[in-house]
Structures are given as C-alpha cells and as structure tokens.
Structure 1
Amino acid sequence: MITKKFTPSKLAYPLVFALAGLFGCNPEVEVDPAASLSLDATSEAQIANGASKIKYRGKHYIVLSTQEQLPAGLESKLAAANGKVNKLMPQAGVASVFSEDPEFVAKASKIPGVRSVVRDLEIEWLKPEDQKVVALENYGTPPFSGDNDRFFDLQWGHAAIQASEAWNAGARGKGVRIAVLDSGFDLDHPDLAPNIDLAASKSFVTGEQLGYALPGVGSHGTHTAGTIAAADNGIGIIGVAPEAQLILVKVLRDTGSGAFSWIIDGIVHATQQGADVINMSLGASLYRNGKYLDDNGTPNDPTDDFLVKGDTKGVQELLIALDRATRYATKNGVTLIASAGNDANNGNADQSLVHIPSSSSGVISISATAPRGWALNPLNTFMDNLASYSNYGIKDVQFAAPGGDYMYPGNEIATIAGVTQYVYVFDYVFSTGSNLTPGAASYYWSVGTSMAAPHATGVAALIIGQNGGQMDPAKVLARMRASADDLGKPGRDPYYGYGRLNALRAVTLTQ
C-alpha cells in the first residue's frame, strides 16, 4: 500500500487542477440546470429519448412464485412441464427456465405456488450511441501533483466530491466489498488487478467469459470499476475507494445487451458473495404499457411492423422479479446504486417510461454532473452543472455525482498532467480501459450517468469502511443524504436529488 497525503500545499502550480473542486464552490448555491441549456443543446442531448431496444429472448422464461421463496420441488415440476431450469433463485422467489414446448407457459402456470410465467427479455442496457469514448493515445509524462499515479490530475470528479480529503481523514474503503455489475472487464489491468477478488467474480453471459474481448479500449465495465476502486499503486489513476475489494460480475455482453434474467442472477450472486455495495452502471427504459420494440422499431410509428403488441402484465411481472432481487440484496445488508439514465428524460412530465434498475426497490439512483471548459480555468470552473443528457425528476434521482459532459462548444486545445487534448474532452470522466494486451494499462474518457454511479458507489464504500463494514443500507443512505452538498432547491429537487455527494463530509460528519 502506498500511503500519502493529498493537500494543496503539495501541488505545484499549475497542476493544482485536480483539487480545484475543493475551493471556491458554494455548496448552498441554488442552481436551475434547465435554464442553462439552450434549445439546440437540449435537443442534441436527447439523442435516444425513448424506450430501450428490447426483444423477447426465444424459449427462455422467468418463473415467479407466489411467495418470495420458491415452492418445494419446483425444479422437478418444471421438468414435467417440459422446462429445463437454468437457475433457481430461491432467495428471490424467481427461476429462469428454458423450454422448447410452445405450451410451456400454460403448463407451468398451473404448478401450485407459481404466480406467473413470463418470457425473458433481451435488452440493450448500454446504448452504443451514448458511449462518447475518447482513448488516451499519448501517455505523456507524469504530472507534478505530489502523487505518483500519473493521471490522477485528470480525475476532476474526485476533486468535485473531495475524495482525496476523505482519504486524508483515513477513509479508503479498506475491508469493503464492491460488486460491479456490467459488461466485460480487463482482469489484469495493473490499476485493477490488486483489488479484484477473482474467486468471487463471475460471468452470467452465455458464451462470454468475464474478461472483455472486443478491440479498442472502450471496456465499459473496466471504466466503471476503475472509478470505484482502482488501486493507489503509483501507476495510473486512483479509485474513490482505493483499498476496497472488487467483485466483478458480467451481466451484459461486451456490446452492452443482456438478458433480464442475467441482471437478477448478478444481484443474487453478488449478495451471496458478501458484497457491501453493488454498482449498476446500466439501465433500460421500458414502456409501462408493455410495448416492446426491436432493433428496427420506433415508438412514434404506429404502422411499424416490428412493434410488438402490449404486454402490460408481462412488464409488471418482470419488474416484480427485479424488485424481489433488489429487496433480497437490501435485506442482506447490500447498498445498491444505479445510474439514472442518459435520455435527458424529465420524469416529472413523462411517466410513460420506467427506468430500471434505478427505480427498483431499495436502489439509489444517481444523476450526472459536469464542468464546462474545466481545463481552461480549473481553479474557478463550476463543477456541478447537471449533465445535458442526464435523466431527472423528483422520483427519479436521489443524488448527483460527476458523470462528465460534451457540451463545451469550443475546439481549444489544453495540456493537463502531460496530456494534450481538446478542452471539451477534459470535461469527460477519465478512467481505466482495456486494450486486450495482457498486463498493459489502457485508459480513456467517457461520459454518462454510468460514470456518475461509480463515484457514488465509491462514497458509499468509504462510509461503510469508516463504519467498520456490514452497514445497514438505510444507514448508508441516511449518511449520504446528511452529507451531500445541496445544490438545487432546498431538500430533494429533480436535478440533484438530495444533493451532489461529498466524500469528505460523508466520512467526517458527526451527526
């Protein structure tokens, strides 16, 4: 373990950048993010406003019991109905089943103790068009920031939530276990490998291993895991909770799609592996009326041949199945955190969609904040604009955290931490990536509420670590709420929820 202090006196100007968010920011300022967005900017942000791409997963079903535990002998009874059980999740009262029998639903629905049998869904939980990825092509030279993790100064999000000050107060996430439910991971990345519990990690994706296997550096799972718990090892970046353990759970293909049942599997598995926190930087928007769209469907074209007729009951049963999994996790002491979504959707006005898992029982939903042009004036740039793409709404957001944005309009070039890039790129979130070269460290910038949730998860881990571990999720939530910087209207508002999270206050608050 490398132990060091992060204080302004150790930073050589001008590379005091990374801690700029610690100064000159009034946490009580009232902000109306919507007023700062032009009509054109708002329209640009609403790239994919609408339901996620969803299709039925052929011959795969989810069975719910009448109680939150499965009836005795269910597997043999399902077999008698021509169903092969893929996974029994007795803790949640859910089973995933494969059957080639066209009458399986009717047969299985008659089994005593079965509440419903619904078709599993294949969902695009990560939209490719949302992934604004910029790779780091030139590693440059290490910065002179008083820290030997060469890209720490690029992590403005840590400054915004005062992570380094929390470390100085002794909070580093030691002993906390964090499960990351996502796409594939770079398992031998030098910044991640020291903190990964491989024995507890697992892939639930049919035909894909835990490791990321696509070319390029855009491993979404690796990026989120790095923000949460990259080791403080003098190599590249540092996670918000650099001494926490990572349980990596692959529930999405590397391309971002995945079965509904895989998410439930992942939540149950992480709980059984002793996770204290689960991060879900993924999400899907479903029509409450149950209308599904495949890859060629649009919600605005009623003549579209690919529009599947409504299945309101099916949607409701799937939401109940997910709720059962999240309740099981919460009852077993797991704090669940999820991204609020990237559709710039106003949940107060548009209630036709339900975003999951951020709206599921016990899940803490995170909106995204960002600076605009931070690289040009890092000491004075406001860090807490609501990101242009972030979903918002009183019931849709509980907290805000750094997620980055692409709204800075200029094309100026800047150099920070030995890295030269466009100014707008520095407003993105910088974290770990994967280049498929064993042991090589790759990094990239990205934006999204997917990047905000890991900052929040890191704060939760610091809180739990300071508590000595095994903390009631309700108490974690209460501490986050009491310590957040209230940036919007007093109390809970549509943009920041209870406020933008503050790691230092979260670990030092006495009340």
Structure 2
Amino acid sequence: MTLGLALMTGCSKEEIQVSDVAAQASRSNLAEATAQGVVRRSHEYIILSATDALPADLASKTAAANGKLTTELPGTGLAIATSTDPDFAAKASRISGVRSVIHDFSYQGYNPVSARETPALNESDNTNPASTGDNDRFFPLQWGHTAIQAPEAWNAGARGRGALVAVLDGGFDLTHPDLQANIQESVSYVPGEPAQFASTAFSHGTHTAGTIAAVDNTIGVVGVAPDAKLLLVKVLADGGRGSFSWMIQGIYYAVAHNADVINMSLGAAIPRNSKYLDDNGTPDDPSDDKVVNETKEIQELLVAIGKATTYANKKGTTVIASAGNDANNGQRDQDLVHIPSGATGVISISATGPIGWALNPLTADLDRVASYTNYGTSDVDFAAPGGDAEYPGNEIVTVAGVRQYAFAFDMVFSCTSAGRYSWSAGTSMAGPHAAGVAALIVGKNGGQMAPAQVRAVLRASADDLGKTGRDPYYGYGRVNAYRAVTTGFQAQ
C-alpha cells in the first residue's frame, strides 16, 4: 500500500494532492500476483561463491564460460555477470569455488500512485509538545514522532549526530530544503537514471529519507534523527522497479562508505515455489516474455541476498527493512518470503497507524496494527509508525491550521519531490522511523556501533505491545526513541 498526498512550498497558496487508494492484489490470489510481479532477467546473472571469497581470476574464467564479469563484491562471495549464452549458468557453475550461478530477477519495489487535487492549506501553528522548542511548520502533523517519543529523545540530547544512514530506495530530491544539508553523498545503480528524482510526482525515496533525517530548520518537517547524515543510494527506478543485483550492489556501496544504518523501504513477496516470467533478453518488451519454473534459483536468490546482508552486519552496519504490505501471515504461509526483510541479519519492521487521529489527536490509538502490514512471529522484529487509510469517512477537518480529509492525517507526513511534502502509508514509512531510532542509538554511542548492540538496545527499549514477549504483529515491541537513548543502553 502506498498512499500519497503532496504539498507545494514556496508559494502564497499551497496545492495539496491526495492519492486515490490503489486497489491491492486480492489476498486470495496473493502468490499468483506476486509471482507475476517478479521477472527473471534472461541475460543478467548473480554468481555465488561457496565461501565469502571469490574464486581467483574469476573474470577470465567467466569469459571462458561465454560470460562477462561486470562487478565483483569482495568479502561477500558475490559477483555480477552478463551472458547471452543460454547455457552460461551451467558452464559458470563448474568454476572451482563457485556454489551456484543464478539469473538476476527484477521486481516492483513499491507502487507509484496517481493523485487528485484538494483544497489549499492555511498556515499551521506548532502544536507538538512545547518542551521540544521545535517550530518547523508541519511538525504538528508528525504523529509518528509522538508515538515513538522522538521529541523526548531530542530533549534528552540525542539527535543522531555522528550517525550515517544509507537509504536504499528510488530517486531522491537532492535539493529539497529539508534534506539538502544532511545529504553526505548520493549514487545510482539504475542504468540511465541519476540519483535525482526526475519528475514532480510522489518521490518514495525522498519521503523515507525525510522521515529518517529531515533537517530541523524551521521550514517543514523534522526527521527522527535530525542531526544524522544521509547516504542516498538509488536501487529502484523512479517508477519503482528494480533488480536484486542493484540492491546487492547498493548494500555493498553503503558498507564501503561506512554507513552505520541501512534502511530499505522496498522489497518483494516471492513464493518459494512458483512459476515466473522470463524477459527473454528484452526487458522493455513484455510481449515475448516466457513462463519458467525456477524454484532452485529463488532459493539461491535468498542465499545471495543473505550473503550481502550478513556482510553488512560483519562490517558493522545495521540493516533495517520494511516487512511488506501484503497482510500476509508469514508464520502460516511459509511459502511466501519477503525480500529483503526476510534475509539473514535484517531487522524487519511492521507498521502501526491510527484511525481518525485528526478527530481525536490526544486520545487516538497510535499503536493500532496497520491493516496491510505483513506479520508473523518469526517475520517481524519490531513495529513502528507506518500510517493507514482505513478511516471510512470523507469529511474534511482542520488540524493545527491544516485543512484536509480526515483519512489523510492518519498517514505519515514527510518530504517528497520538488521541495514539497506528502502523506503516505505503508511499512515503507515504518522502516524509516525505526532507522531513525537506530541512528539516535548510534549517535548516543558516539558512532560505530555493532549491529548486535543496536538490536539489543532496540529490544530493551521497545514498548512491548500485544502479547507479552515477541508476538506476530509488534515483534519485540514498537520502537521507542526516548527509552532507547536513556534506559535502553543500561537494560541491554
């Protein structure tokens, strides 16, 4: 589920856009719909070594198997190659030290949304806790910060300084006034597309980055860790589609550039046993796609992603990913695996969100389980605010000077393209809240903190909601920024 509402800045009147609630694939046909969304890339390959070291002279050995080695990722046991030889995988698999050779797969990492216009906004007043001293214009709309006690963490002196968060996502508005000062570096792994988001539509990457570390500058919104720095890594095209090899390379880049935390608000729910489309070497022409059954390749794809995330953990990078928006019980339906949240060493985040917050902002349940979130005791580590659009009414209300549909206020408000702001909902919005808390933890530690320690602090400080202990919906609990930077270190 991705729902967006964009807001223009820098004008005397702001234009607001609210997305239509996009219909999701029928849950009864979930496996079929997901399989159809994942496409095997006929000429693109991932080479998996039997160990974390790549075989010697792999480039020449790949060439001898009628392929071309394009990328080596030392330390992960992974490499990327291309070949037009249909027997390349079989030939390259015989290279000494190679575990397997599989096709790369593309997937829809998130779904772009269409929008409709709504009435203009008036100036808003700051109604967040006065003790924060914060005067960013749209801070009052960030109920997620209230849910995780981010303002209290700031008051305790924790703002994320010294932490670097890598955001693996679609394109980014690199000149957004609430992001620019915190952007340390940006890079794109999408062929033909720069890191800069190229349109004025909803920018998923900009939205997630803003939730993590929007600058506290009196302009618009504030990130959970407003003093953390951002490493923006584009691994999905602006339309939301990407390849798993781009994700793997993005993880490797983030680690190589000393990211303390990686946030991946993206992914695909993939049946372990299913049929898939093959692009037949022409990814832009679906008319000649063919159906293939590649159960073994999917199993090895999980191993490949796990090699990348394990490497990140070993190098000191905490990896966080959204649990997915399929309303799937992973404990019951173990055939469906969500990548990358299901990979080794990844902290998986489910979503929470209120219904009708705008009508009762002081009493609304901010920790209600979101209607779309994936769940399952073994599938969720923690929960965080992701928003929802389940409120059934269409009335327009005013909160802190902002006039809008009531359901919109239940979503997460953050930055988007062209210097604007947007409401959106999904586990994509929950992950950044948790990544922001992780950045606060790393900053509190003075930087460079082992992922196991970050996880331990998150667990010791989370609010244990639902059933006592780890449960299917909240995992170990909903993250709590204030407790993480105060009692969390002592309790781990």
Confirm or deny: 8 A CA contact 1:48 1:343 kept in the other structure: no
SS in 2 for 1:350: coil
Deviation at 1:58, TM superposition (A): 2.8
Corresponding residue number in structure 2 for 1:459? 437
Deviation at 1:294, TM superposition (A): 7.4
Q: Give the AA of the match of 1:57.
A: R
Confirm or deny: 8 A CA contact 1:136 1:445 kept in the other structure: no
- Aligned match for 1:79, one of 35, 56, 63: 63
For residues 440 and 434 of structure 2, what CA distance do their matches in structure 1 show? Answer: 10
Is 1:147 aligned to 2:129, yes or no? no
For residues 344 and 115 of structure 2, what CA distance do their matches in structure 1 show? Answer: 31
* 1:7-406 alignment runs, 5 A limit: 46=27, 49-50=30-31, 51=34, 53-128=37-112, 138-145=120-127, 147-198=134-185, 201-216=186-201, 218-293=202-277, 308-406=291-389
Confirm or deny: 8 A CA contact 2:119 2:404 kept in the other structure: no
- Aligned match for 2:423, one of 426, 445, 459: 445
Deviation at 1:291, TM superposition (A): 2.6
Deviates more, 1:309-318 or 1:159-168: 309-318
Corresponding residue number in structure 2 for 1:23? none
For residues 135 and 205 of structure 1, what CA distance do their matches in structure 2 show? Answer: 31
**Structure 1 residues 285 and 330: CA distance shift in structure 2, 3 A:** same
Identity %: 61
Q: Which runs of 5+ in 2 are unaligned?
A: 1-22, 128-132, 280-287
**Structure 1 residues 193 and 43: CA distance shift in structure 2, 3 A:** closer
Confirm or deny: 8 A CA contact 1:152 1:236 kept in the other structure: yes
SS in 2 for 1:354: strand
Confirm or deny: 8 A CA contact 1:346 1:392 kept in the other structure: yes
SS in 2 for 1:424: helix
Q: Give the AA of the match of 1:482.
A: A
Corresponding residue number in structure 2 for 1:469? 447
Confirm or deny: 8 A CA contact 1:340 1:390 kept in the other structure: yes
Is 1:480 aligned to 2:463, yes or no? no
Q: Give the AA of the match of 1:119.
A: H
Deviates more, 1:114-123 or 1:325-334: 114-123
- Listed one character per residue, the Cα deviations across residues 413-442 of structure 1 (whole Å, up to 9, x for unaligned) are 11123221011110010000003xxxxx20
For residues 28 and 216 of structure 2, what CA distance do their matches in structure 1 show? Answer: 37
Q: Give the AA of the match of 2:410.
A: D
Deviation at 1:459, TM superposition (A): 0.4
SS in 1 for 2:293: coil
- Listed one character per residue, the Cα deviations across residues 464-505 of structure 1 (whole Å, up to 9, x for unaligned) are 111111111111111111111111100000010111111001
- Listed one character per residue, the Cα deviations across residues 153-205 of structure 1 (whole Å, up to 9, x for unaligned) are 0100000000000000000000100000000000000000000012xx21001
For residues 178 and 55 of structure 2, what CA distance do their matches in structure 1 show? Answer: 45
For residues 165 and 188 of structure 1, what CA distance do their matches in structure 2 show? Answer: 29
**Structure 1 residues 188 and 284: CA distance shift in structure 2, 3 A:** same
For residues 47 and 224 of structure 1, what CA distance do their matches in structure 2 show? Answer: 30
Confirm or deny: 8 A CA contact 1:290 1:315 kept in the other structure: no
Deviation at 1:137, TM superposition (A): 6.8
- Aligned match for 1:415, one of 398, 403, 409: 398
**Structure 1 residues 225 and 135: CA distance shift in structure 2, 3 A:** farther
For residues 431 and 72 of structure 1, what CA distance do their matches in structure 2 show? Answer: 47
Q: Give the AA of the match of 1:140.
A: N
Confirm or deny: 8 A CA contact 2:126 2:138 kept in the other structure: no
Corresponding residue number in structure 2 for 1:7? none
Confirm or deny: 8 A CA contact 2:27 2:326 kept in the other structure: yes
- Listed one character per residue, the Cα deviations across residues 428-460 of structure 1 (whole Å, up to 9, x for unaligned) are 10000003xxxxx20110000000000000001
Corresponding residue number in structure 2 for 1:29? none
For residues 187 and 47 of structure 1, what CA distance do their matches in structure 2 show? Answer: 40
**Structure 1 residues 134 and 483: CA distance shift in structure 2, 3 A:** farther
For residues 49 and 336 of structure 2, what CA distance do their matches in structure 1 show? Answer: 26
Deviation at 1:359, TM superposition (A): 0.7
Confirm or deny: 8 A CA contact 1:290 1:313 kept in the other structure: no
Corresponding residue number in structure 2 for 1:424? 407
For residues 140 and 387 of structure 1, what CA distance do their matches in structure 2 show? Answer: 29
**Structure 1 residues 262 and 480: CA distance shift in structure 2, 3 A:** same
**Structure 1 residues 43 and 430: CA distance shift in structure 2, 3 A:** closer
SS in 2 for 1:320: helix
Confirm or deny: 8 A CA contact 1:180 1:246 kept in the other structure: yes
Corresponding residue number in structure 2 for 1:30? none
SS in 1 for 2:275: coil
**Structure 1 residues 134 and 188: CA distance shift in structure 2, 3 A:** farther
Confirm or deny: 8 A CA contact 1:143 1:418 kept in the other structure: yes
Deviation at 1:318, TM superposition (A): 1.0
- Listed one character per residue, the Cα deviations across residues 376-409 of structure 1 (whole Å, up to 9, x for unaligned) are 1111111111000001111111110000001111
For residues 330 and 98 of structure 2, what CA distance do their matches in structure 1 show? Answer: 34
**Structure 1 residues 258 and 183: CA distance shift in structure 2, 3 A:** same
SS in 2 for 1:376: coil
Q: Give the AA of the match of 1:496.
A: Y
For residues 133 and 481 of structure 1, what CA distance do their matches in structure 2 show? Answer: 38
For residues 71 and 455 of structure 1, what CA distance do their matches in structure 2 show? Answer: 40
**Structure 1 residues 418 and 134: CA distance shift in structure 2, 3 A:** farther
